[in-house]
Amino acid sequence: KYLTKKNEKFVVERGHRMALYANDWIGAVIYTKGVFEKDEIKDLLFVLDIIGIDLKESMALDIGANIGNHTIEFAKKFKDVVAYEPNPNTYKILDFNCSYRENISCYNFGLGDKEEYLTLYEHSFNNGASSVLTNDLDRNRNYFEVEHNDVFQNKFEIKISRIDSFLNKFSDVKLIK
């Protein structure tokens, strides 16, 4: 009853419902506190305001947006927010959560310094701790695949695009997370 009452308050503060992963670290924090890293986001927005950035006329990029916690908070202050999430399952939740806001665009790929496809190892109980391992990290790859199959059960091939190829589509970017 206590959590249900708190969550009614969180829905009002957020302006809409929010989908979460059950039994996930970030989801648990959102369920109990309303926003993950709420104080950090508040401090960041405060600093941007103090240095004179007009957020209402600016754009934010949320790279590795997860389920949209930061994206949604940024959308309350920024004119536009562009969110990138390469995990196909997490992207579905991100897209749903952001569908309540007209100033958010979501994309199902990651950004990096080159065009490539990588393997994403999904952490079972902390989706934010999922990892991409490259070919030169064979020791770590073996660690994740052999010794910890219980923690990294799912793996996906994900697309990575160069951020440079999107720069002409952006205007007045003032924050890249």
3-state secondary structure 122-161: ECCCCHHHCEEECCCCHHHHHHHHHHCCCCCCEEEEEEEE
The pLDDT tens digits for 48-66 are 999 999 999 999 999 999 9
Tokens representing 41 are: 């986001």
In the prediction, which pLDDT does 141 show? 47
Type of residue numbered 26: I
In the predicted model, residues of the chain with pLDDT beneath 70 are: 133-150, 152
In the prediction, which pLDDT does 139 show? 46
In the prediction, which pLDDT does 97 show? 97
In the prediction, which pLDDT does 14 show? 85
In the prediction, which pLDDT does 134 show? 53
Q: Is 0.95 surpassed by the pTM of this model? A: no
In the prediction, which pLDDT does 130 show? 83
